[in-house]
Structure 1
Amino acid sequence: MEMKKIGLLSASLLMLGAATGVASATPSNTRAVNRDFTKLSIDGSRAFDDITMARTALANGDTAGATKLLTDANNAFTRAKTDNRVFMKAESQLSKPKKVPAGAPVPTTAPNTQPVAWLPVDGEYIVTEDLEPTSAKGTAITAANASLNKGKTAQASQNLQVAAVDVDFVLAIAPLQASADDVYRATNLLAGKDTKGADAALADAQNSIRFVTEDMVETPDAPAGGKAKKSK
């Protein structure tokens, strides 16, 4: 299953959800939007963008392009191993959100009870109201989507705040070592001209993604004399 990536490193997608009556919805504001994006790993996001693009390249018969993308993904995973956004937790202990993005991978096995390192690779703001796309709030979400896809988080937040749209932030996390192993395996299979096997290995990495509530990941501490660095 191909994971729906939302943007290169910076943007999340506001989804028109039908989750009415969600009690924990938090009004969007600039501070919250900027804070949430500090929880994402730049290298982790890059690796999964590479995975998605590599699968597209394979589907188009561009093995040379896929090879370059997998080299980049392997390097990104190596850097991500020292990312302060990595956290240890057993899958069985993950805090699941009330609603997950459409098309989210569905686990096929029981959750593992052994702690592993997880890497936050993406995030989505999911609207907790049942909205008509043509309503004032629906229009605000469309405008916010456009801003987020350009990396303009403050502008997106302003659109939502003016319209008083409530959203929940959901994080996409990946098991670091397993994902890195899948990409390494895909690289070797591709080197052996097994494009089908390489694609299957990349699909395994995408299907290892889990969605959790934002409180599973702490915002990294700001360096002395400065502010926490935001994803871009």
Structure 2
Amino acid sequence: MRFIASLAITAGLVAAPFAAQAASLHTDWEKYKATRAFNHLSADGQRAMVDILNAKQVLDAGQTEQAIPALYDATRRLTAAGKANAKFMAAETALHPAPQHPVASTHVPGTTPVTWIPVGGEIVGSETLAPEKKAAIATANSQLQAGNTQQAAQSLQVVGEDADFILALAPLEQTQGAINRASVFTEARNPREASAALQQALDGLVFVSEDFAETAIPAQGGRNAAPGK
């Protein structure tokens, strides 16, 4: 009996490192999947969306002068995003919006191919997730909205397979047009109309699944680290 007990203890001691290694590999794989998904994002496109959100917040507060630099940066960065590799041409009808974030029922998708820029994303999880995983997803989404993809991938390590990543695509020319209108209204000291133009840009986003991103959108590797100024 002592031999059997000793054998069981030995087996447990041997199995423990393998179990720890398997858990480590699983964590590394989940981190890799998140990083791979985020690598489809356009760094300049992400920055442009942050600029748009910042400008809209300022305009909603009734300020115009402070919104002008953000609108200028958004225009410049979208132009750069349109020249980079993280873009593709497609008709909106071919995008197949993610079920977690459908377009408005009144929206009529365009049938003419246009340029799309991957400008952001959202992590979604089920309502049955543990509170700590829901908190991690909320943190990661805030980090994504701020353009901090590396931090978002780190936050998602505790979530594992219990979350899906959906990608936000912006129609380049339509978004540029909305920013141009917002700039005109801003310079005319009309913050309400300027904010409405930026809302049109945000409403034009289409969210697609990670599977769609894998097949249609070029990955940018390490170049899409947390963007700076």
Interval containing the TM-score (normalised by the shorter chain): 0.7 to 0.9
Residue of structure 2 equivalent to 1:231: 225
Preserved contact between residue 182 and residue 201 of structure 1 (Cα < 8 Å): yes
Closer, same or farther: CA 231–220 of 1 in aligned 2, 3 Å: farther
Please name the residue that 1:6 is paired with: none
In the aligned structure 1, how far is the partner of 2:36 from the partner of 2:48? 22
Contact 2:124–2:164 under 8 Å retained in 1: yes
Measured after TM superposition, the shift of residue 214 of structure 1 is: 2.0
For residues 28-177 of structure 1, what are the structure 2 equivalents within 5 Å?
Answer: 29-100=30-101, 106=104, 108-127=106-125, 129-131=126-128, 137-143=130-136, 145-146=138-139, 149=143, 151-161=150-160, 165-177=161-173
Could you tell me whether the CA contact under 8 Å between 2:51 and 2:73 is conserved in 1? yes
The structure with the largest alpha-carbon Rg is 2
Give the deviation of 1:95 after TM superposition.
2.0
**Pairwise CA distance, 1:144:** 5.2
Counterpart contact for 2:43–2:224, Cα < 8 Å: no
Match of 1:10 in 2: none
SS in structure 2 of the partner of residue 120 of structure 1: strand
Cα distance, 1:187–1:214 mapped onto 2, change above 3 Å: same
- Structure 2 length as normaliser, TM-score? 0.74
Structure-2 separation of matches of 1:154 and 1:53: 23
State the Cα distance separating 1:110 from its structure 2 match.
1.6
Q: Which residue of 2 aligns with 1:194?
A: 190
Gaps of 5+ in 2: 1-28
Rounded Cα–Cα distance in structure 1 between residues aligned with 2:167 and 2:198: 20
1:154 Cα deviation after fit: 4.7
Going from structure 1 to structure 2, the CA distance change for 1:64 and 1:201 (only over 3 Å counts) comes to: same
Kept in 1: contact 2:59–2:195 (CA 8 A): yes
Contact 1:189 1:198 in 2 (8 A): yes
The percent of aligned pairs where both chains have the same amino acid is 32
- 1:212 alignment partner, SS class: strand
Q: Distance in 2 between matches of 1:57 and 1:105?
A: 26
Give the aligned residue type for 2:127: D
Within 2, Cα distance between the matches of 1:220 and 1:113?
22
Root-mean-square deviation (CA), in Å?
2.3
Larger RCO (alpha carbons 8 Å, 6+ apart): 1
* Structure 1: runs of 5+ lacking an equivalent: 1-27
Q: How high is the TM-score relative to the length of structure 1?
A: 0.73
Point out the structure with the larger helix share. 2
Shift of 1:160: 1.8
Instruction: Describe the shift of the 1:171–1:228 C-alpha distance in structure 2 as closer, same or farther (beyond 3 A).
Output: same
Comparing 138-147 with 59-68, greater Cα deviation is found at 138-147
SS state at 1:152 partner: helix
**Is the Cα contact below 8 Å between 1:85 and 1:217 reproduced in 2?**
no
Q: Secondary structure at the residue paired with 1:140? A: helix
- Letter of the 1:139 partner, please give it: E
Deviations 1:97-135 (A, max 9, x none): 2312xxx762633211111001111111211x3316xxx
Size of the alignment, in residue pairs? 190
Residues 180-222 of structure 1 show CA distances to partners (whole Å, capped at 9, x for unaligned) of: 1110121122212232221221111111111111233346357
- Looking at structure 2, the residues matched to 36 and 203 of structure 1 have their Cα atoms a distance apart, in angstroms, of 26
Query: After the TM superposition, which parts of structure 1 deviate over 6 Å for at least 4 consecutive aligned residues?
Result: none
